[in-house]
């Protein structure tokens, strides 16, 4: 059988196109963004979390240009929930309601999702406050999306696996993380519950620490009866909620007081910059507490952080010593690599501690390093959050756990050291670089 | 009338005194439902009632009868009437997963036939007594948070359809349209340990229906498609760990014991968290209690095999 030139060219083109067809849903998967953007492609859900970067063209068969009430006519039946919510919102009140097209466009074939900029057209002050966070670096709401896509583990892992990361980090790219659609209620966002969908779980137990604090206990007892339509000003609420302190006076800039960096890195509270930040805190607490009590509180917090870092550094040193002696199991050379980490191919190195990027290295490592990660990222942050939110018992409990976990690591490190010295030669690379998930992880970024 | 009163009275006394053996009787235990604002707390058996004096029993009986013309029911009583009146509903329940020892109508609806039985069973409190594990993932999800903020202000007498609630409750999705067969189970497409079953296709379509009352079909489809892949990736980790455990048990049965404990005690729970996290839209469940935790256990199991492989002879 003979092929013409044209057939060969077409066949060759098809061969080129075929992998794209098979591997990527071309309508919904795009090249990644950020520092490692070249190494990964987005998941279709990404378009909902970051609609500006990953717009998904409307696929609805409905054609036409619609105004105000016309949208509601259909959607009251199709999606009654959102219409009811909108009707109950401030957007629906008054003589000039803000109808659907204001945020989604009029042409049903070219509908779009609103971004903070869309909301900022009517709420410029709030947008300005959020944008202002970018001056302060991490942690902040405004830089949350950048934070996630620039993480090596996010870039490396299959995007469906890390889809949940975007769900919270999309606080930078949408306003409905706190003001849920389509009611967009300020009163709702003032409640502590509005924060806990993201501010919960092992690395940032803000929910459990706040609810265990004297502030939170009183909120749980009485909060349902308070008038949440009041702004977050001095004297409007009996005790502060999350937003009461972190977004005082409704200020949407939450990064200017971020002093302790979530407890995951050591900071010196006495630097000029940190003193300014701390003074902002003193002012917030000063609404209710005398300055002596506030200073004592911060002194206790500094002591707690000092004690936590002492524990962490002791363990970190043990791991680093093992690394120096080449006794960490497995060695970096036997581990799967991040796709973008070309340097590590020639100079493999185990990452230990915040500054070396261990925050991304909680998989593709040995059990000992992971145990340290859990101690540092979960138990230590639990102790910090407990103390910072005034739940002292929780802080004490987590410090107790830190001692136990540190001890376990020390014992295990001793064992690994003894074993390592007598270890027999064995090809263990396949164990760490092969396997159903490990292979899938390597091939799907 | 007298006969009727005596009948009710006997039932009532009977049920109150039977409260003594609550511990042995799971059926009784599961009928204890905490009250929610605006909804009358069902009369539940008091475990100390053997000390209650007769006058108190009579007073309760009188008050109960006067208050709502209510009668305390037992399971057979429900079915006696509702088998005819709500035939489909009873069939759904019979063929569904809730038809099991210790669970009957009263478990969710309570025992007082006072007109608030349906409303009472639609609150989340009606489910939490038996499904506490689920609470974590739902509680912190946006849906759970909104229900908490509403604080029971929703009108629970409205049907479980057409977005009658500010945010979906347990029953809104799992018993959507009031279907009692729990047919709206948010079943993940793929499971770690068993392959995709063809006969759940219908259920996969059904699981999206409650969501569509508020969300666009495309969003719901995309959510579940990504969620299914996420659960499948969790399954891959499980299977990789299983293969490693098999290798360990071939070489060192004692070390395999430790690995098996991690696999079945810990990893299975994390995989369940991923599923619940997807179903309940909980980022924590999907990630910190799910995938990130699975990663940790997988590499702990691999570390066990690593040690077995490099351990010196006789060491």
pLDDT at B44: 42
At residue A9, the pLDDT reads 65
Which of A197-206, A317-326, B190-199 has the weakest average pLDDT?
B190-199
Higher pLDDT, B68 or A404: A404
Are A128 and A256 in the same domain? Answer: yes
A224 and B151 in contact by Cβ < 8 A?
A: yes
Find tokens 């206790």 and name the residue: A300
Place of tokens 């995007």: A159
Residue A98 lies in a domain: yes
User: How confident is the model over A296-319, as pLDDT tens digits?
Assistant: 999 999 999 999 999 999 999 999
Does the structure show a pLDDT above 90 at B187?
Answer: no
Cβ within 8 Å, pair A180-B146: yes
A340/A430 same-domain check: yes
What percentage of chain B reaches a pLDDT higher than 70?
Answer: 69
Regarding whether A174 and A104 lie in a shared domain, the answer is: yes
The region of weakest confidence among A92-96, A200-204, A369-373, B10-14 is B10-14
The mean pLDDT of A92-119, rounded to a whole number, is 93
pLDDT over 70 at B26, yes or no? no
- Smallest CA–CA distance, residue A139 to chain B, in Å, is 19
Q: Are residues A236 and A306 in the same domain?
A: no
H-helix or E-strand spanning residue B192 = none
For chain A, the average pLDDT equals 92
Are both A383 and A248 inside the same structural domain? Answer: no
Percent of chain A predicted with pLDDT > 90: 82
Q: Which of B141, B291, B311 sits opposite A197 (nearest CB)?
A: B141
- Assigned domain for A59 exists: no
Give the Cβ contact number of residue A176 at 10 Å.
Answer: 16
CA distance A400 to A202: 16
Cβ-defined contact of A367 to B295 (cutoff 8 Å)? no
Chain B interface includes A312 (CB < 8 A) = no
Q: What's the pTM value of the predicted model, to 2 decimals? A: 0.85
| Rounded alpha-carbon distances, angstroms, from residue B311 to A85, A216, B251, B262 | 63, 52, 11, 21
Q: Is residue A26 assigned to a domain? A: no
The Cβ of residue A72 has, within 10 Å, a number of other Cβ atoms equal to 17
- Quick one: A437 and A301 in the same domain? yes
Region of poorest pLDDT, from A111-115, A178-182, A244-248, B2-6: B2-6
Contact B244, B302 (CB under 8 A): yes
Residues A272 and A319 in one domain: no
Q: Which of B214, B233, B312 sits opposite A158 (nearest CB)?
A: B233
Same domain, A189 and A314: no
**Spatial distance between the Cα atoms of A240 and A247, rounded to a whole number of angstroms:** 10
CB-nearest to B149 from A82, A164, A191 is A191
Q: What is the pLDDT of residue A314?
A: 97
B130 to chain A nearest CA, in Å? 23
- Residue-wise pLDDT tens digits, B151-160: 888 999 999 9
Number of domains in chain A: 2
Confidence at residue A12, expressed as pLDDT on a 0 to 100 scale = 63
- pLDDT of amino acid B183: 60
Phi, psi of A366 (to 5 degrees): -85, 170
The pLDDT confidence band at residue B184, using thresholds 50, 70 and 90, is low
Question: Is A198 near chain B, with CB under 8 Å?
Answer: yes
| Domain at A87, CATH number | 1.10.780
Residues of B in contact with A361 (CB under 8 A): none
Contact B283 A198 (CB under 8 A): yes
Where is the domain boundary, A223, A248, A280?
A: A280
Q: Looking at the structure, do residues A240 and A300 belong to the same domain, yes or no?
A: no
| Residue A286 CA, distance from chain mean position | 30
* Contact yes or no for A383/A304 (Cβ under 8 A): yes
Domain ranges of chain B: 2-131, 217-310
A197 lies within 8 A of chain B by CB: yes
Give the domain extent around A213.
Answer: 68-280
Same-domain status, A261 and A400: no
Q: What is the ipTM of this complex?
A: 0.91
| A367-374 vs A392-422: helix crossing angle, rounded to 10 | 170
Cβ within 8 Å of residue A73, ≥6 positions away: none
Examine the domain organization and report whether A239 and A327 are in the same domain. Answer: no
Disruptive mutation site among A60, A189, A197, A419 for chain B (greatest number of B CBs within 10 Å): A197
| Mean pLDDT along residues B201-225 | 84
Tell me the nearest-neighbour CA distance from B96 into chain A, angstroms: 28
Q: Confidence class of residue A94 from pLDDT cuts 50, 70 and 90?
A: confident
> Does residue A301 share a domain with residue A241?
no
Token couple for A199? 């501010």
DSSP A53-101: TS------S--SB--HHHHHHHHHHHSHHHHHHHHHSGGG-SSS---HH
Residue A29 lies in a domain: no
Domain assignment of residue A72, yes or no: yes
Task: For residue A87, tell me if it sits in a domain.
Answer: yes
The residue-averaged pLDDT of B48-64 equals 54
| Cβ within 8 Å of B, A 9-28 | 28
For chain B, what is the mean pLDDT? 77
pLDDT digits (tens, 9 = 90+) for A125-165: 999 999 999 999 889 999 999 999 999 999 999 999 999 99
**End of a domain among A280, A300, A319?**
A280
pLDDT digit string (tens) for A353-368?
998 989 899 999 999 9
| Model pLDDT, residue A21 | 46
pLDDT of the residue at A343: 86
Q: Mean pLDDT, to the nearest integer, of A94-106?
A: 93
Each residue's pLDDT tens digit, B120-153: 999 999 998 888 877 789 999 999 999 999 988 8
The mean-pLDDT minimum among A158-172, A228-242, B78-92, B204-218 falls in B204-218
Per-residue model confidence (pLDDT) at position B95: 85
State the Cα–Cα distance between residues B307 and B299, nearest whole angstrom. Answer: 12
Beta-carbon separation of B277 and A45 below 8 A: no
């Amino acid at each position: 059988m003979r092929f013409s030139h044209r057939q060969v060219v077409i066949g060759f083109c098809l061969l080129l196109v075929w992998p794209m067809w098979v591997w990527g849903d071309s309508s919904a998967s795009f090249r990644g963004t950020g520092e490692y953007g070249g190494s990964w492609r987005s998941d279709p859900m990404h378009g909902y979390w970051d609609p500006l970067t990953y717009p998904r063209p409307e696929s609805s068969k409905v054609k036409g240009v619609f105004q105000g009430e016309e949208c509601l006519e259909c959607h009251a039946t199709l999606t009654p929930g959102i219409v009811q919510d909108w009707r109950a919102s401030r957007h629906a009140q008054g003589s000039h309601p803000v109808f659907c097209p204001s945020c989604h466009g009029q042409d049903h074939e070219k509908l779009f999702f609103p971004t903070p900029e869309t909301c900022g057209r009517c709420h410029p002050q709030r947008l300005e406050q959020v944008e202002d966070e970018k001056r302060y670096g991490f942690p902040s709401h405004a830089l949350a999306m950048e934070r996630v896509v620039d993480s090596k583990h996010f870039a490396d892992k299959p995007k469906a696996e890390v889809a949940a990361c975007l769900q919270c980090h999309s606080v930078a790219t949408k306003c409905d993380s706190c003001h849920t659609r389509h009611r967009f209620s300020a009163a709702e966002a003032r409640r502590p519950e509005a924060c806990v969908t993201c501010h919960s779980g092992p690395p940032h137990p803000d929910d459990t620490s706040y609810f265990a604090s004297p502030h939170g206990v009183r909120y749980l007892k009485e909060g349902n009866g308070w008038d949440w339509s009041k702004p977050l000003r001095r004297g409007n609420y009996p005790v502060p909620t999350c937003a009461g302190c972190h977004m005082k006076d409704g200020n949407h800039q939450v990064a200017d007081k971020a002093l302790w960096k979530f407890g995951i890195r050591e900071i010196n509270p006495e630097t000029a910059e940190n003193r300014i930040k701390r003074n902002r805190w003193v002012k917030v607490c000063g609404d209710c507490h005398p300055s002596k009590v506030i200073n004592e509180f911060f002194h206790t917090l500094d002591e707690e952080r000092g004690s936590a870092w002492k524990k962490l550094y002791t363990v970190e040193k043990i791991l680093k010593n093992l690394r120096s002696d080449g006794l960490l199991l497995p060695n970096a050379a036997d581990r799967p690599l991040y796709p973008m980490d070309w340097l590590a191919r020639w100079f493999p190195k185990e990452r230990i501690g915040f500054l070396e990027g261990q925050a991304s290295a909680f998989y593709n490592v040995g059990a000992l390093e992971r145990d340290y990660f859990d101690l540092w990222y979960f138990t230590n942050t639990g102790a910090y959050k407990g103390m910072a939110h005034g739940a002292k018992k929780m802080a004490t409990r987590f410090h107790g756990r830190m001692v136990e976990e540190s001890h376990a690591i020390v014992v295990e490190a001793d064992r690994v050291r003894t074993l390592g010295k007598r270890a027999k030669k064995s090809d263990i690379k396949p164990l760490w670089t092969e396997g159903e998930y490990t292979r899938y992880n390597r091939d799907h970024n | 009338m007298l006969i009727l009163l005596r009948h009710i009275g006997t039932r009532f006394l009977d049920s109150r005194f039977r409260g003594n053996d609550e511990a042995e009787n799971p059926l009784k235990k599961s009928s204890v439902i905490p009250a929610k604002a605006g909804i009358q707390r069902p009369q539940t058996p008091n475990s100390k009632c053997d000390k209650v004096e007769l006058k108190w029993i009579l007073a309760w009986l009188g008050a109960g009868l006067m208050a709502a013309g209510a009668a305390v029911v037992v399971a057979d009583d429900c079915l006696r009437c509702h088998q005819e009146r709500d035939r489909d509903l009873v069939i759904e329940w019979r063929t569904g997963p809730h038809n099991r020892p210790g669970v009957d109508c009263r478990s969710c609806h309570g025992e007082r036939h006072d007109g608030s039985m349906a409303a009472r069973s639609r609150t989340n409190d009606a489910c939490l007594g038996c499904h506490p594990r689920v609470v974590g993932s739902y509680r912190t999800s946006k849906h759970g948070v909104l229900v908490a903020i509403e604080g029971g202000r929703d009108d629970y007498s409205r049907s479980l359809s057409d977005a009658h609630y500010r945010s979906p409750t347990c029953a809104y999705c799992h018993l959507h349209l009031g279907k009692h067969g729990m047919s709206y189970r948010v079943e993940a497409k793929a499971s770690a340990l068993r392959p995709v079953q063809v006969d759940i296709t219908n259920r996969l379509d059904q699981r999206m229906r409650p969501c569509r009352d508020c969300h666009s079909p495309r969003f719901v489809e995309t959510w579940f498609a990504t969620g299914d892949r996420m659960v499948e990736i969790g399954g891959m980790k499980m299977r990789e760990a299983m293969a490693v455990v098999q290798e360990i048990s071939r070489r060192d049965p004692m070390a395999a014991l430790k690995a098996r404990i991690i696999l079945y005690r810990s990893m299975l729970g994390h995989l369940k968290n991923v599923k619940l996290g997807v179903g309940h839209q909980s980022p924590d469940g999907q990630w910190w209690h799910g995938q990130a935790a699975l990663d940790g256990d997988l590499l702990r199991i691999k570390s066990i095999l690593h040690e077995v492989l490099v351990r010196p002879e006789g060491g």
